Amino acid sequence: MSTNNAAAHSGIKAQWHWNAPGVESVDWATWDALIAASGNSSVFLDSRMMKSLMRSEKRNLAAISWFKGDEMVGIALVEDAVAESINLDSHIAVKRSWFSFISRWLHGKDGRFTFRVRVIGPVLGSGLHSVRWASGIPVGEQRRLLTETIFTSTSNAGTAIPKVAMLKDLPIYYSGRRQQLQPGWIPLEFDPEMLLHLDPTWEGLADYQLQLNTKSRTKVKRVLKVSESFQISDWSTEKVIENADVLIDLYRSVFDRSGFRLGQLHAEELIESKRFWGDDFVVKGYELEGELVGFQCAYRGADEIEAFFVGFTPELVKSHAIYQRMLIEFIRLGIKTKRKRINMGRTALDVKSSVGALPQRLQCDVHFRNPIFHALVRRYTRGFDPAEPVLKKAWKADAFAKVYHSEIHTT
């Protein structure tokens, strides 16, 4: 454990708890109580998730807790990770010609650009899972504490502090371009997170389908038909442990196609999640003619189903609609367990919109240790916005998911 005194003049001090040794030094009961008191639950900040990730030998992860005297007043999840961008131009809308030139130069001949980054929030998830504060800490104080703290601790793994920090993912509820929310931080916007709010009156998939428009309802029926040959089963902890490496191979067949990578999933995280979460970490296997061809996993949070990762044989997307079927199974799980929404993440936007998921814009704020480089990047990033996604319109006009989403999000 390390202590930061940068904020001592406010009477608030930060404590860093790195990796497996740090697990035992956190008061997890108080940690979870602070999350509950914030009124904003989080699967990724939950102590069960934190313990499973901090114990991973392949991650470099810390829990930060801020204290005012003996009272815990703030918490954060931080991971030192490697980011890899692949052909960035295909994922953004460029507004300045020189931006494309610089982007191609950074990515080189093979179209890849890698860099180390200190991530505030989960590299494996999307949404607002970065920090939580007690109600008595003003917003301005929260931002100052975060800025003063983030570069003050070196991991016990012996790696140097990255030169850039990224705070993810802050919801954008307004229309227009992203805005600076954190003084000294540069706002960036990438793909949105796809959410599906569940009607509390739904008892099963039939009720969900009734609120889809005719075209989308026909597509869902077709997916269920062409995928009916799969044998889908819930996996126990023992089965996950026994087959974890096979699941990771299936996951990589999907992950290796992504255009931007921030960390990746490892077998031990699947195993530790199942151990810590039990039945609240759902792993489903997909077999076809006795052969394992896919899997999906999800966390059951207090209010939400957090769709985590999937893996499958790519050829089965067209022939058996395996990915679409997995999305429908996430929805089925949410309805069955009476959750309020499904958090589907920020990839495959078009397919997710076809089953009714709707976009929530997110921004990531970045802060560089070098002020000169910070100023250059601020100017550089003014030249791009995320590519405008073309999404399906799945719902009837008065569908619960559409009405509820439009009331709290500007899309």
- pTM for the full predicted model: 0.87
Sorted by where each starts, the structural domains of the chain and their CATH numbers stand as 2-162 (no CATH), 194-360+393-408 (3.40.630.30)
258-274 mean pLDDT? 80
**pLDDT at position 2:** 57
Write the pLDDT tens digit of every residue in 211-251.
999 999 999 999 999 999 999 999 999 999 999 999 999 99
Task: Show the tokens assigned to 159.
Answer: 């790696």
pLDDT (0 to 100) of residue 1? 61
What pLDDT, in 10s, does the model give residues 79-121?
999 887 655 555 445 455 544 544 554 445 565 557 889 999 9
Among 61-75, 113-127, 153-167, 373-387, the minimum mean pLDDT is found in: 373-387
CB 91 within 8 A of CB 387: yes
342 with 307: CB under 8 angstroms?
Answer: yes
Buried b (16+ CB within 10 A) or exposed e, 163-172: ebbbbbbbeb
Write the pLDDT tens digit of every residue in 283-317. Answer: 999 999 999 999 999 999 989 999 999 999 999 99
CA separation for the pair 268, 274 (Å, rounded): 10
Give residue 4's pLDDT: 47
- If one compares 62 and 385, the residue with the highest pLDDT of the two is 62
Q: Which of 298, 307, 310 is nearest to 252 (CA)?
A: 310
Highest mean pLDDT among 65-69, 249-253, 387-391: 65-69
